[in-house]
Amino acid sequence: MGNGGRNSSAIAPHLHSVIAVPSCRGTRRRRGSGPLAGEARFAGVDRRGWGTARLLTCGSFARAAQPPRKENSHASLACCIRPRRGADRPRGDGVWRFPPPAGTRRHLEARHHPRIGGRAALDSPRTAARTRPGFPDADLRTGREADDGRQRDGPVAPAGGRLGGQRREAADEPECRRQRTRRHPRRLPARGRWQDALDRGERCRSDGKRGSLLHEAIAGCEGEVSPDSAAARRRSRPAQGSLVPDPSLRVDRRGRATMRIGICTFTDGRQRVAERLRNDCLGFQRRVANWLREQGHEVIEASDVIWNYASARAQAERIASCDVAVFNFCVWSFPDFTAQAAEFLSAPILCVGNINPAYPGWVAFFASAGTLDEVGRPFGRVLGDIDDPRVQSEVIRFLERHDPDRRARGIAAARRLRGQRYGEFDGPSMGMYTGHIDQSQWMEQFGIHVFHRSALEFANRMATITPERVQAGLEWLEQHCGEIRWQEGRLTPGLDGTLARQVRLYLALKDFCRLEGIDFCGLTGQLDWTEWPQWCIMDVPEALLNDTADWEEERKKPLICATECDSNGGLTMQLMHELSGTPVLFADLRHYHADLDVYDLVNSGQHAPWFARRSDDFRENWKQVRLFPALDFYFRAGGASVAFYAAPAERVTFGRLTRAKGKYRMCLFTGSFVDFGWEENERLARMTTYEWPHAYARFDCSMAALAQHYSSNHIHAIVGDWMAELIAACEHLGVEPVVLS
C-alpha cells in the first residue's frame, strides 16, 4: 500500500487530496460490489503503480476535508470516483486501488468544490459541462458516474452538503437512471495533458447548450497543481485583484508575459494535393512560428499538415497543452477538419489567414470561420501577412486578451458573484428600462439574490442613529473636505441641518447592509428622496458607500452602490470591483467636447472621492472634494452635492452590462482619464453641471461605434487594462462581450 519508491505526481493531481464517493441510493447492490458513499483520501502509489485511496467515512453525504493549500495551487476538486470493472475492491485495510491514468481506462467525475472565495459556488445541473476531448478517460458531466459503458445519475455529495448557503437534499438530482454512453473514452494524449487540462480547466468550453463558453468544471477552484503543468511552468497565481508581479514570471523584452503557443496548418483533403502543397504550407507555418518566437513565446509547431481526420487528431493533440492554438490557412482546406481539430482543443483558437494569391487560402479561412461559428466554438481571426505591423498588433492584442492567468482572474471574479446579495432599495428611477432586471434571471444566471426594501425602511432607521455618530460624521467632513459651501435652506450645518440628514441616511444604509449581508446595492434617490423637503438627496451617502474610508473606518471596503437603482449598473460595478478591488466609476455619458476629443462623464455625487487622487491616504482624496448646495432645479429636498475632478490615468477600462431581448451583453472598451489643469477643468465643468463630479475621458473607440452599439445612459470604469479578465468573466457568466476598442 505504500509508495514503493514510485513517483506519485502522476496520480496526485487527479485525486488531489480528498475523494467524495457517492452512493447509488435506490439501486440494488450486491455485497462487496460498487463503491460505498463516503470520503477517501489519496494515499500514494503501490508497487504496481496503482493509485490508492483510503476510505475514511461512510454515509449518504460525507463531508470532504479541505485540501491542503500549496503556494502555486489554484484548483481543488471534490471528486467522485468509481473504478472500472476489474479494479481492486477495498480490502480489510479500507483502501481502494485503481490503475494510474496513463495506459488505463478509468471514469472520473469532477464537480466544483462548493466553497470558492468564501462563498457557495456549486453549479446547477443545467450548466453542467459535456465531455470534452481535453479530458481523456473522464466524463465531466457533473454529478454522473460512468462504469462499464453505462452511466448512472446519482446524488453527488458536495463538501459539507451545502449548496448556495442552504442545505439541499439528494433528491435535487435524479435517482440512478441508466443511459447509454460510449464504452471507450478518448485515449490520453501525449505529454501530461491531463495535468495541464486540470490547471487550465477555465479554458474548456461550456455554456450548457452547445459549448460556446468557458468550461467551468474544474477551473477557479482551489487545490493542487501538477508541478509540470502549464500554470506551474509560468508562475503561481497571485491573489485575486493583485497587481504585484511575480519575479518568476517569464516576460519578453517589452515586459509582456510569454505564453506557450501551438500552431497547425490545414490543407486540401485529397492526399495527392496535400503532398504537393505540404512544403508550401509548412513554410507559411514557420514564418508565423518564427515571428511568435521573436516575441518571446514558446511555440509548438505541428509536425505535419492537417489533411484528414487522423492528421487533425494527431496534430491537435500535439498542441493541446498550449495556452493558445493558432489555426494557419494559406491554401484551400476542408473546413470540417477545422471543426474536428477544435474538438480536441480546450485552448482559445486564433485563425490566421495568410496572403497567398496562388491558392485559395482566404477561401479556406472564411469557410473555416463559418464552420466554427456554426458549431458554436469561439475564436479570433486575423487576416493578412504576418510581416504587416497591423497584423502583428492584432495578434499581440489577441494573445494579451487570452493570457491564461488573466482569464483565470476574470473567471474567479465571476465565480465570486455567486451567492452574493444585492440590495434593491426601491426600484429603477424615472422610467429607466436599462436599470430593470429579472430577479429570477439573476439567481439562475449569476447566482445573486435580489433583496428588496422600500425607502421607508431607511427613513425609519435614520431616527435610531445616535447624535454622537452623526456629530462625528459632520466633524470628519468639515475637517477633510476641501470646501463646504453652506447656504441657508439648501445646505445647512448642525445636527438638524441638511448635511446631518445625509450623514444619518449614510449610517442607516451602512448598518442595514451589514445587518442583512448586502454585498452591493442600488438606491432610487430620485424622485422619492429628492422631492420631499423633509428628506435629502443621496449624493453624500452614495459617495461614502463607494469610497474607501469614513469616520468610523479609516480603511473600509467599498460597498458598491448604484444611484437611481440602476441594478444592471450595480452588477457591472460589482464585477469590476471583484476584479480590481478598488472603487468603480458610475457616471452619465453627459457631453463630448469635439475640439478636445474628450467626453465629460458626470453624475450627481455618485463618483467615489477615491478617484480624485486614487491615494491610499483618504485625506489626499477628500482634500480635493467640495460640497456644494444641491441644485433646487432638480433637487427640492436639499443637502450637499459632491464635486471634484478625477485624477488622470493612462489606462482605463470602461464597460456596461445591458440586455437585448432578455439576453445579457457587455460593451467593453479602453481609454484614459485626462486632466487639463484647474482653470480649464473649471471652464469645462461650467459648460455642464458645475456642482457635480467630473471625469474627463478619452475613449479608444469612435463616436460612431459608441452611438451604434452602446445602449445605456450610464457608464462604468476601473483604472487599468482589465479587458482580458472582463471578457473571460463574460464568457463564464453567459454574457456576450461586445468589444468596441
Pick the range with the lowest mean pLDDT from 206-210, 287-291, 299-303.
Answer: 206-210
Encode pLDDT of 345-365 as tens digits: 999 999 999 999 999 999 999
More reliable by pLDDT, 235 or 620 = 620
> Are 34 and 151 in the same domain?
yes
pLDDT score for 254: 56
Res. 587 pLDDT band, cuts 50 70 90: very high
Q: Is 412 helix (H, G, I), strand (E, B) or coil?
A: helix
> Are 698 and 644 in the same domain?
yes
Q: How far apart (Å, rounded) are the C-alpha atoms in residues 671 and 648? A: 11
203 in a structural domain = no
Cell numbers at 395, concatenated: 495578434
Res. 638 pLDDT band, cuts 50 70 90: confident
Encode pLDDT of 81-129 as tens digits: 333 333 444 444 444 444 444 333 333 333 333 333 333 333 333 333 3
662 in a structural domain = yes
User: What average pLDDT does range 679-702 have in this prediction?
Assistant: 96
> Are 530 and 587 in the same domain?
yes
The tally of domains found in the chain comes to 3
CA 625 to chain CA mean position, Å: 34
User: What average pLDDT does range 686-696 have in this prediction?
Assistant: 95
Res. 525 pLDDT band, cuts 50 70 90: confident
Would you state the torsion angle of the CA atoms of residues 133, 139, 143, 146, taken in this order, to the nearest 10 degrees? 170
Strand partners, 450: 422
> Are 663 and 724 in the same domain?
yes
CA 236 to chain CA mean position, Å: 18
CA atoms within 13 A on the CB side of 696: 22
Of residues 161, 218, 175, 177, the one with CA closest to residue 195? 218
236 in a structural domain = no
Res. 427 pLDDT band, cuts 50 70 90: confident
Pick the range with the lowest mean pLDDT from 109-123, 305-319, 461-475, 500-514.
Answer: 109-123
Quick check: 647 pLDDT over 80?
yes
CATH number of domain containing 394: 3.40.50.10940
Encode pLDDT of 456-481 as tens digits: 889 899 999 999 999 999 999 999 99
Quick check: 2 pLDDT over 50?
no
pLDDT score for 14: 36
> Are 392 and 462 in the same domain?
no
Res. 251 pLDDT band, cuts 50 70 90: low
User: What average pLDDT does range 1-15 have in this prediction?
Assistant: 39
pLDDT score for 426: 82
pLDDT score for 38: 40
> Are 384 and 278 in the same domain?
yes
Q: Which of 148, 165, 191 is the last residue of a domain?
A: 191
pLDDT score for 307: 96
Q: With b meaning 16 or more CB within 10 Å and e meaning fewer, what string describes 526-543?
A: bebbbeeeebbbbbbbbb
CATH number of domain containing 586: 3.20.14.10
> Are 161 and 108 in the same domain?
yes
More reliable by pLDDT, 258 or 681 = 681
pLDDT score for 257: 61
Pick the range with the lowest mean pLDDT from 494-498, 523-527, 625-629.
Answer: 523-527
Q: Which residue intervals of 599-677 are DSSP H helices?
A: 618-622
> Are 39 and 107 in the same domain?
yes
Encode pLDDT of 619-631 as tens digits: 999 999 999 998 8
713 in a structural domain = yes
> Are 357 and 458 in the same domain?
no
Q: Is 509 helix (H, G, I), strand (E, B) or coil?
A: helix
pLDDT score for 108: 31
Q: Which of 333, 367, 402 is the last residue of a domain?
A: 402
User: What average pLDDT does range 440-451 have in this prediction?
Assistant: 97
> Are 372 and 458 in the same domain?
no
> Are 285 and 314 in the same domain?
yes
Quick check: 192 pLDDT over 90?
no
Q: How far apart are the first and last CA of the chain?
A: 58
Q: Which domain covers residue 183, as residue numbers?
A: 12-191
Encode pLDDT of 199-234 as tens digits: 444 333 333 333 333 333 333 333 333 333 344 433
CA atoms within 13 A on the CB side of 246: 17
